[in-house]
Amino acid sequence: MTAEVNVKAKLGLDTIKVDDEQKHIQIDPEICKGCSLRPCLHICPAQVYTLDKNGEIVLDLDGCLECGTCKIACGRKAIKWNYPRGGFGIQLRFG
């Protein structure tokens, strides 16, 4: 018998230190305006990308898992993605 994995509980063990001075993801809102598919809203496992009441992309790095999927999914190259600088970002924990 296999035990069911609770992904939210596992992710809750991780810690994330957000760098407010030097964000590791930046988006170009002008390029985003012309995008009808908006894959970043659907592909990010941490739901870092959301829409505001005006329909514009909002970025919340508090839960970023640093997988880079958003950069790959954005065919319009509106996302500039780098690893966070030392001491910041996600710290994965086992549990």
Report the pLDDT value the prediction gives residue 1, as an integer from 0 to 100: 62
Mean pLDDT of 70-90: 95
The pTM assigned to this predicted structure is: 0.80
Question: Where do the structural domains in the chain lie, given as residue ranges?
Answer: 31-86
One-letter amino acid at 24 equals: H
Q: What architecture (CATH level 2) is domain 31-86?
A: 2-Layer Sandwich (3.30)
Residue among 33, 46, 45, 32 at smallest CA distance from 74: 32
Which residues are bridge partners to 75 per DSSP?
Answer: none
pLDDT digits over 5-63, tens only?
A: 776 777 778 889 999 999 999 999 999 988 999 999 999 998 999 999 999 999 999 88
Dihedral over alpha carbons 70, 71, 77, 79 (to 10 degrees): 70
Measured at the alpha carbon of residue 93, what is the angle toward residues 6 and 79, in degrees to the nearest 5?
85
pLDDT at 95 over 60: no
